[in-house]
Amino acid sequence: MTIATMHNTTVEARRRTGRRTLWLIFLVCLAPVLASYAAFYLWRPQALANQGQLVEPPLPVQWPATQAEALHGKWVLVVAMPAACDAACEQSLYLTRQVRTLQAKEMHRVARVAVVAGDDAGAASPDTELIRVHDAALAAQIGMGRVAVVDPLGNLVLRYNEPLDGKALNKDLSRLLKYSSLGK
């Protein structure tokens, strides 16, 4: 073996090592990108972060004209009440009041509404709007005996069944207020 042949063999070995190193660096940089695409498109998580029942697609809520302006631009906690409010209904009213209070400095962005299906219902709590629905359309949209969250654009986005879990509602509402710039 001559010196020129040994030199060529050494140069070729270095080139192969250099190419392998370059490909290895390329693959190491490309792997996280490919893994993220695979995770996003192939392995979507089944569990959602929200505690309430997500309404898909969001349903537009038609407030009565007298309350529409006061509720526009606010997150609204809606309690659909029967004509005679029972213990579960009173508990839902109480918990929505507590959840609104827990929002502290963001409390001004949240309103509470009690939707009543009928004329002979009693008064709701002091900071709750009382809406009497004669055609029961709004109460049916929310679902009697349920609590719902309406976004500032007027869309029904979350529903909660009775008995209401105040911690779950608080967690969802806190997250909505934190990550949304909507609402006054």
Q: What is the pLDDT of residue 179?
A: 86
Closest to 148 in 3D by CA, of 87, 90, 108, 92: 92
Residue 145 has pLDDT above 70, yes or no: no
Strands annotated E in the chain: 53-60, 75-81, 110-117, 128-133, 147-150, 155-160
> pLDDT-derived band of residue 162, with 50, 70 and 90 as boundaries?
confident
Q: Alpha-carbon distance 131 to 115, whole Å?
A: 5
63-67, 83-87, 127-131, 159-163: least confidently modelled range: 127-131
How is domain 53-179 classified at the CATH fold level? Answer: Glutaredoxin (3.40.30)
- For 34, phi then psi, to 5°, come to -65, -40
**Between residues 26 and 129, which one has the greater pLDDT?**
26
157 CA to centre of own chain:
8
- For 108, phi then psi, to 5°, come to -65, -15
- Find the mean pLDDT for residues 130-158: 74
Q: Alpha-carbon distance 98 to 120, whole Å?
A: 26
CB 75 within 8 A of CB 172: no
List pLDDT tens digits, range 86-127.
788 888 888 888 888 888 888 888 888 887 766 655 555 555
- Indicate the domain borders of the chain: 1-44, 53-179
- For 3, phi then psi, to 5°, come to -65, -40
